[in-house]
Each structure stands twice: as C-alpha cells, then as structure tokens.
Amino acid sequence: MICVVGINHTTAPVEIREKFSSSDEETVSLLKDLLSLSTIDEAVFLSTCNRSELYLVTSAENGEVLRRDILERLRSWKNAKAEEMDCFYHYRNSHAVRHVLGVAAGLDSMVLGENQVLGQLKQAYRLSATRGMTGRILDRLFHKAFESGKRVRTETRLNKGSSSVSSTAVELAVDTLEELHDKSALLVGTGEAGTLVLQSLSDRGCGELYVAGRNPKRSAEAAAQYGAKFREYEAVMESLHEYDLVIVSTSAPQPIIRSEHILRLSSLLKKPLLIIDLSVPRNVQTPPQNPALVFLYNVDDLQARIERTKARRSEEVEKAQLILNSQREEFLSWLTSLQLSPTIHKLKQKTHSLYEEQLSTLKKKIPVEEYQRLEEFTSYLEGRWLGLIIRNLRNLTEGGRNLGYIEMLHTLFQLEEQEKNKDGMDGGK
C-alpha cells in the first residue's frame, strides 16, 4: 500500500506548519524511526514552507491503525498538541499517487503551477534514496512524478506569470508601493526563494537593492549578480527604517525581526514600510499593534492574491489534469502488474495442484481412455475457472485502486500457506 500523510497551506495555518518544518538531519532521524517499524518498507519526507508530507510504502493491513501510529510519532517528534494533528490528511493507493503527481506539477501549491516545489521534491527524494530508504515502488513513483511535473510545465501555460510565492510577494510590493524604480528594498536571506525575490525585484527595475544573509559570502555573491549592495546581517535590524520594502526569507528556526524592532520604527519612520515574511517558521514577529506606517504580511496573507491567479488558470489546470491522469494510469498499471503477477502465478500453482491431487486418486480406478478424457476435461475446467477469477480480479482492482482484493484472494485460497509449505519442503532437502 502507498500512503501519504501530511499538512499543507489548505489544512493548517502557518503557526502549525512551521512547527513541522524540518532540517535534513531531523528528517533522516524521523525516517529511520518510521522504517524501524516492520510494516513500513519505504519512506520519503518533504518539508517546505507550505507543506510537510510523508510518502510511504507499507505492508500494513489496517490503514487506519497505521495512520494513528504515524500521527502519534509525528506529534511526539515535534511535541505538538493532539488537536494540531487534526490538520493532517491521509491518502492511500490511487489517491496517494494522484496527490504526489499533483504536488510535483504545482497543482497543490499555494501559487498554482509554481516551479520551486519540483526541485524541493527532488531534494526530498534524493535525501531518502541515497540512504537506501526508498525501493522499487517509491523510486518508480517519484521518477514518474518528476516526468509529470516537467510535462505540465512544458505542455501547458500553468506556470506562466506569477509562479512562486516569491514573485507573488513582489507583485504585492508593486501594488502597495505603486512604483519600485524610486524605492529601496532589502532582502534578508539568499536561499532559493530569496534568490527568486532578488531576480524579480531586479527585473521590475527596483531603484536600490540591498542583500543581507547569515552566509556573508553567498549574500555578497547574490548581491553582485543582480547589481545589489551587500549589507552586514548583524546591522540590518537597526536600519529597517531606511528602506521602503523589506522581504525576509530565511530558514532561521525563530524570528530574526522581533516585536521590539518593529515597535521601535514608530519613532523613526517618515514613510510607509512594507515588510513581507516568506519564511516558515516565521522570521518576523508580529507586535501586539503595528506602528501606523508599517505594513506586515506573511505567506498566509498572500493567499487571496494567489486565489485570483488560480481562477485565471482554470483552463490550463484542465490540460494539466489530463497529463496527470495519463501518468497516474501508467503508474497504477505497472503497480497492478507488480502485485498481480506473483498472485496469478501462485493461484495457477494452487489450482493445478488441487486438480492433480484429485485426478491421482482416480488414475488406478478407471480405464486409461476414460482417465485421459477426464484429464482433458479437468484441464479445460481449470482454465475456465482460472480465466474467470483472473479477469474478475483485474476488474476488481481497477488498475490498482483496490489492491485489498489481492490480499483477500491470498486468504481465500491460502496462497501464503502454500508458500510456507513449499519453503518447508525446500528446507528439508
């Protein structure tokens, strides 16, 4: 069984999402814990500013029991409250596959069609795959997801225009400040999202660009690439009033711009200051009451603008869905054959041995010619019954949607018992 357990921007507010944000070291620790369970065979964990999701391959028979166990481990891992776990969703089999492909294509993102998530998904997969935490099924699923994401971005216009939270933030800045050519902007943080902000501000012709970050070398290089000026990270908090726009996008685990920094601005500002926090966990602490000239936004505040973008792209969504449906059916067809082939082989062995066992009791009791005719008839009957069972089994599993029927067949015909008996005989030789 393939399953997904997670939260995103539609099910959990930023204060809960930021709690489950995870470093690579924390992610590896979590996955090792989960893979120590006998029922979990493969695992990947994706942690971005808008989602935290586990992708698992499991042999657990009871999906609900597994879900509760995973949620309890996640709750304990981040010391979360029980009620916060209600924000988590759970998908299985074909629904899980559809979700993974949708994430890769940007259909499940806050900004429809955004490009960043595909790279983040690749990074999450790589973290697990290089440590032997994935196997045949997740390897195939993730490569299918990467293929799907690339096709959607090249065969549709889904990601045209504002295609990331970063570019949406710059659009908000343009709408709020009207013009950027005579404005000064400070970017704090030069990770992937921060670099996209810097590029977008430069493309928009922002008057003065400044860059600060915890890694001085990388910040200075980013500033030089886009014609910006480098600022020392430690000095930034004392000079916020000098800018028209401040965008923060770092992976710091706690606020770097605190309430006192913002409250101090009330006596220093002589013009409006727009502060946009793209970080999860949040890096800008909201004071009890903003100073009159300070306008503060975080990633959740960008949602209304993003929803308008989604409405304009509905036609492209339909095109993307057609691509994803085709990709999903291809994967599920492969998964079904992977599951059905050994089951069909075992079933053929089982029915053949039953027919042979019954025929052997008659071989010495009836004439040779009569036995041959009976043998031909039983062979024909065996083929008809097997054909009927196999055909119905393929229909019942619906291309991989109801793999529980395969387990039912194993129980009905005692196919696992057959394997044990075979192993016992082999071991005794």
CATH code: domain of residue 139 = 3.30.460.30
Rounded to whole angstroms, how far apart are CA atoms 173 and 314? 25
Residue at 101 is within a domain: yes
Residue that terminates a domain, selected from 125, 144, 159:
159
Both 218 and 292 in one domain: the answer is yes
CB 296 within 8 A of CB 270: no
Both 248 and 132 in one domain: the answer is no
Res 401 pLDDT > 60: no
More confident residue, 315 or 28: 28
pLDDT tens-digit readout, 180-229: 999 999 999 988 888 889 988 998 899 999 999 988 999 999 999 999 99
Residue that terminates a domain, selected from 141, 159, 177:
159
Question: Total domain count for the chain?
Answer: 3
Burial (CB < 10 A; 0-12, 13-18, 19+), residue 37, is middle
Q: What is the DSSP string of 73-109?
A: HHHHHHT--GGGGGG-EEEEHHHHHHHHHHHHHTTTS
Rounded to whole angstroms, how far apart are CA atoms 249 and 49? 10
Neighbour count for residue 387 (Cβ, 10 Å) = 10
Looking at every residue in the chain, the average pLDDT score rounds to 87
What one-letter code names the amino acid at 86? D
Res 428 pLDDT > 50: no
Residue at 331 is within a domain: no
Q: Which two tokens stand for residue 172?
A: 């908000």
Residue at 425 is within a domain: no
Residue at 147 is within a domain: yes
Both 37 and 152 in one domain: the answer is yes
Both 373 and 283 in one domain: the answer is no
Res 425 pLDDT > 50: no
In what side-by-side order are the strands of the sheet with 273-277? 229-230, 208-212, 184-188, 245-248, 273-277, 294-298
Rounded to whole angstroms, how far apart are CA atoms 349 and 413? 11
89-92 and 2-8: which strand pairing?
A: antiparallel
Q: What average pLDDT does this structure show over 399-410?
A: 65
Both 148 and 118 in one domain: the answer is yes
pLDDT tens-digit readout, 337-356: 777 777 777 888 888 888 88
Both 87 and 200 in one domain: the answer is no
Looking at residue 198, the DSSP 8-state letter turns out to be H
Neighbour count for residue 35 (Cβ, 10 Å) = 17
Residues with catalytic function: 49
As a whole number of Å, the CA-based R_g of the chain is: 29
Query: For position 231, which CATH number holds?
Result: 3.40.50.720
Both 8 and 140 in one domain: the answer is yes
Structural domain containing residue 353: 342-416
Both 152 and 218 in one domain: the answer is no
- Please, which pLDDT band fits residue 13 given cuts at 50, 70 and 90? very high
Rounded to whole angstroms, how far apart are CA atoms 194 and 33? 33
Residue that terminates a domain, selected from 159, 187, 211:
159
Residue at 185 is within a domain: yes
> Would you give the distance in Å from CA 247 to the centre of its chain?
26
Rounded to whole angstroms, how far apart are CA atoms 302 and 257? 20
Residue at 309 is within a domain: no
pLDDT tens-digit readout, 254-310: 899 999 999 999 889 989 999 999 998 899 998 988 888 999 999 888 877 777 777
Both 265 and 374 in one domain: the answer is no
Q: Which two tokens stand for residue 42?
A: 């493969």
More confident residue, 90 or 163: 90
Both 174 and 148 in one domain: the answer is no
What is the CB-side half-sphere exposure of residue 46 using CA atoms within 13 A?
25
Residue at 40 is within a domain: yes
Rounded to whole angstroms, how far apart are CA atoms 397 and 403? 6
Rounded to 5 degrees, what are φ and ψ at 58?
A: -135, 150
Residue at 375 is within a domain: yes
More confident residue, 233 or 160: 233
CB 105 within 8 A of CB 324: yes
**Taking phi first (over 0 means left), then psi (-120 to 50 degrees means alpha), and beta for anything else, what does residue 106 get?**
left
- Please, which pLDDT band fits residue 75 given cuts at 50, 70 and 90? very high
Both 190 and 153 in one domain: the answer is no
As a residue count, the chain comes to 429
- Scored b (16 or more CB within 10 A) or e, 238-254 reads eebbbbbbbbbbbbeee
Both 169 and 154 in one domain: the answer is no
What pLDDT is stored for residue 429 in this prediction?
A: 41
Res 426 pLDDT > 60: no
Stated pTM of the model: 0.66
